[in-house]
Structure 1
Amino acid sequence: MTFVQLIDCRTSRFEEMDRLMDQWVEQTKGKRTATHAVVGKDRSDASHVVEIVEFPSYEDAMRNSQLPETDRIFRDMVALCDEMPTFTDLEVTRDAQLNTESARRFFEVLAVGDDLSPVTGLVEEHYHDHDPANEQDVIGLDHLRREMDVWRGGFDLTIRIEDQIAQADRVCTRWSMEGIHKADFLGIPATGKKVSMTGTTIFRFGANGKIVEGWWQYDRLGLLAHLGALEPTEL
């Protein structure tokens, strides 16, 4: 279970404390168990500073606190504080990365059922799609639906999410696809073959939580070769 430590302090020497955190990051390379750190200033009181540090588990947090570098930096941090900082230990019970869930939902809609209406709640009307397989970028939700229909019409699809990484307004999804070639696909008559393909998609989300832009990379040539649509290469 992910573990979070909340460090609450007051300081009139924020710049020095910020440099101190840089020192800790540098000195604990290859040793620390912390995976994510966020520092925030109170908008109504600039001397009020909160740091949130994330660890894979409570045990990892304890190992991190026992590092001599952590102990040394902590003593220097206390010296910069106007009063003794407080620590709150939190076991994370809910971690909802909303953009990540929306990206996952997009692939569920792509693969399952005949109804594409849920895409309206996931994708912005002026969506901009970058796919190296297309001569021109796809602009607009209606065009994206037509692209989705090409794949859904040609294959019985199963899509599995392998990995997802989120940063700022972007979510990167590594996925794998399996399907039976059941109908015409890009002019290729149905072969009945079972095919598979892997790919990666990066979605950018707008302020309203909808997908506004996408970048696709996948093994299209491998898929076409499997369907017998490519001439064999002579050695």
Structure 2
Amino acid sequence: MSTPETTRNKETLRRFHEALGSGDMEVISKTIDEVVHPDVLIRTPVPLESTGAQALKELFGVLTEAFPDLHVSIEDVIAEGDKVVSRNVVTGTHRGEYMGLPPTGKPVTYGEMFVVRFRDGRVAETWGVVDIFAQMRQLGVVPG
């Protein structure tokens, strides 16, 4: 049974994904400012020096430059208490440098799962598993 808190948290996560799908860094950055705590703890390894909300802005800047048509489809959302779990399918076309790889023009489709902890209606902590192997295989870096 959903509570007002879990319903609000699920909608906040959906709003975050919609902003990412816009491909507009101004919209993405503004949404991060509104729905993410500045000191958010990101428990997924990311190749960035920055931390908190600034790291998310930089990460999504890299992703939107590499995959300008990036789209996140939420397949499942489960919420309990202060946590929301989201299983997603991500698609995009490799049009910019990504992880040292020049643009290939190849499409990618990969899965990801995130657990997001909320505090006061904002994202406070994240854990994620992203299928980087599938990305690299589809981009031709890893033999398929």
SS at match of 1:215: strand
- Higher relative CO (CA 8 A, sep ≥ 6), structure 1 or 2? 2
**1:189 aligned onto 2:99:** no
CA-CA distance at 1:113 after TM superposition:
3.4
CA-CA distance at 1:159 after TM superposition:
1.2
CA-CA distance at 1:135 after TM superposition:
6.4
Tell me what 1:112 maps to: 22
Distance in 2 (CA, whole Å) between partners of 1:113 and 1:183 is 13
CA-CA distance at 1:136 after TM superposition:
8.0
Distance in 1 (CA, whole Å) between partners of 2:50 and 2:113 is 17
TM-score by length of 2: 0.87
Distance in 2 (CA, whole Å) between partners of 1:205 and 1:183 is 32
Equivalent position amino acid for 1:213 in 2 = E
CA-CA distance at 1:137 after TM superposition:
9.1
Which has a greater percent of helix?
A: 2
Runs of 4+ that moved beyond 2 A? 134-139
Q: 1:146 to 1:222 in 2, by over 3 A?
A: same
TM-score by length of 1: 0.55
Task: Structure 2 unaligned segments of length 5 or more: list them.
Answer: none
CA-CA distance at 1:107 after TM superposition:
1.0
Q: Is the 8 A contact 1:130 1:137 kept in 2?
A: no
Q: Is the 8 A contact 2:23 2:70 kept in 1?
A: no
Task: Structure 1 unaligned segments of length 5 or more: list them.
Answer: 1-35, 39-93
Q: Deviations over 1:149-204 (max 9, x none)?
A: 11111002111110100000000011101111111111111111111011111100
1:215 alignment partner, one of 123, 127, 131: 127
SS at match of 1:118: helix
Cα RMSD after superposing both structures: 2.4
Larger radius of gyration: 1
1:148 alignment partner, one of 56, 60, 63: 60
Aligned length: 139
Distance in 1 (CA, whole Å) between partners of 2:49 and 2:113 is 17
Q: 1:214 to 1:229 in 2, by over 3 A?
A: same
1:162 alignment partner, one of 75, 83, 101: 75
Percent same amino acid at aligned positions?
Answer: 30
Distance in 1 (CA, whole Å) between partners of 2:56 and 2:7 is 24
